[in-house]
Chain A
Amino acid sequence: MSIPIRSLERVREALASMPETESRDRPFVAGEVLLREGERADRIGLVIQGEIELYKRDAEGREHPVGSVRPGQFLGLLLLSSGEPSFLTARAKTDGRLLEMPRKTFLRLLYNLPGFYQMVGPLLLGNLVSRYRRVVQLHLQVAELSRALAAEKAQLQAALEQLEATRNRLIQQEKMATLGQLVAGIAHEINNPVASLARAADAIGPALLGLLERPVEARELEVLREGLQQGLRHQPLQTEVQRERMDQLAVRFPDLPRPVLRTLAQVEPAVLEAFAYYVVANPTVERKELARRWVEMFEIGTLVRSMRVAAERIGGIVRSLKGYSRQDQAELAEVDLRDGLRDTLVLFGYLLKRFQVVVDLPVPLVVRGRPGELNQVWTNLILNACEAMGERGTLTLSGGAEPGAVWVRVQDTGPGVPPALLERIFESGFSTKKPDDPAKGGLGLGLAIARSIVEQHGGRLTVENVPGGGAAFTVRLPAAAAAPTHPPG
């Protein structure tokens, strides 16, 4: 609401001409404080020229602009009737001037001086109306802001939930990728013993049938039993030793076919000598035939032995798998970390074949933890080491106990980690793998997952470069008695 300058000037002149109003001109300069919040003010001012900004302090003491007072408007209006300390701070925005009079005089004249109300009444009313309008507008603005704020909050919440879902999905994918490698590993590990088991089983039937084609005389039985036992006891020779012995036997028995020489090469030399003596000393048809059957019996023994070895291998893999896959076990249990490490090494043996593996775990490493989750840590660290080393290298697993803590170190002979990235490699999604190489499986979450599992167990996972090349990841966990009991997840 604006008052024409001319009429305002008339009001000023009229008021100034009445001595009983005790009014006086009060010039002000930009930046000058005319009222201070919380201080008492006993004067009321009518702005004639210039503009004054009003400020209110919030609970933390910050000043906020809440409006302005322009020519024709009153300063100190709120104090008019109450005389309470000032509600606002008034600071001049521009140079200007007020017509000032004491508050009590103003109130008294309002009722007693004829013509005074006619002059200031419309101004007062206009002032109050415009301030009330302003309050209503502010209410509307506050309502609008609250609505926008609520909408923004809901959006943020949705974004956060989406982010969390994505993160969980990525972790799940990472776990599936590891699981894929695990399954490939088991298939590989089981395939070898299954192959030798199947092939030995195939061979043993015909061998027995061939042996029993002719009747066995009672006095031969002892000899054949001896052949079988030799075969059962037999340990496979290194290929080089076998080749050497085969070459020697080929010179000695030029008439024997190579498969027979190969079997003979595996017979203990002392036993073989006794046999050679038995046959050579009196080379009858019967003795030669008995020797032939002894060799067959020996061969059957080696087949049975290799079947047993294969079955043990498969049993061992299944045991490792049982130990490894306690993923769902959410309860804390006292575990020797060496068990999980061994299971993991067995199941990922196919990946480790091209590397030297050194295991130095001399003492029990007992912690309270969730074995399945800890196996995930070993898996991720070992897979990470394999990837760092590429085609060849040495993987060293070491561990030890300290007062109150145990540690496990997984060390590789890869290129190490650039110093600038030493901490970053634990971040989600950080990977040195090429993005176009999804065959490698991982999404770069392996180390992040490992670290979070270790921290949930109250431990620490750190990395350092080893002098001479390679990286060493160290897991440090509280020893069994000192372990915390955080809930899972």
Chain B
Amino acid sequence: MSPIYILCVEDEPEVLAAVVRDLAPFEVRFPIESAATAAEARRVVHEVILPRGKLGVVVCDHLLPGEDGVSFLVALQRDPRTAPARKILLTAQAGLAATVQALNQAQLKHYLAKPWDPEELRAVVRRQLTDFVLEQETDLYPYLTVLEADRLTEKIRQQPLPADR
């Protein structure tokens, strides 16, 4: 089973550390990678994540030095290998225009305003990861303890038993 990655992109080291720390409970199943810029994030996706597994969720800061977060998420959406990944924008300024652009072009799944509530961040990531594995994975048992168990069990009940395949 190839790992499903969580990618965090944030240029402020302390903020990045906080996001990664908040998401640490997922790491028993979903390795977390981090990057400080869109360019580095792109390298991580292509040189670290895709060779080893899949990109499941991206939590991305809005304003990054150089290329901004929305533009990076839009680019991920255009690449068929990363299109299925769930995209979450973490923004310190809720600019309506940028949010609308992201919603429309990147199929942005959620945006969170800084400072975020860690429970809310985890709930959002849990739901998006659940959506992702329901859509992309057939073997759902490994995720039961980390993700939304009731939705996973519901799907498992509908699946044919291994013997029927």
Contacts and interface: CB of A to CB of B under 8 A. Distances in A.
B40 interface: yes
Contacts of A460: none
Given A243-B33, A258-B27, A350-B92, A199 B21 contact: yes
Q: Size class of B's contact patch?
A: 35 or more
B15 to A, nearest CB: 5
Given A199-B118, A439-B97, A193 B66 contact: no
Contacts of A262: 20
A350 B114 contact: no
A17 interface: no
Given A239-B35, A302-B17, A191 B115 contact: yes
Given A199-B21, A259-B24, A306-B17, A350 B63 contact: yes
B64 A353 contact: yes
Nearest to A351: B63
Contacts of B36: 238-239
B22 interface: yes
Interface residues of A, number: 33
A188 B14 contact: no
A202 B17 CA distance: 13
B139 interface: no
A200 B18 contact: yes
Contacts of A188: 63, 92-93
Interface string B31-53: 11111100010001000100000
Contacts of B14: 192-193, 196, 200, 236, 306, 309-310
Given A191-B115, A243-B44, 10 more contacts: A188-B63, A195-B116, A196-B15, A239-B35, A258-B31, A258-B32, A310-B14, A350-B93, A354-B63, A354-B64
Shortest 6 CB-CB distances between A and B: which pairs?
A236-B13, A199-B18, A195-B115, A196-B14, A191-B92, A306-B14
13 contacts: A191-B92, A192-B15, A192-B114, A194-B114, A195-B15, A195-B116, A196-B14, A199-B115, A236-B17, A239-B36, A243-B33, A309-B14, A439-B97
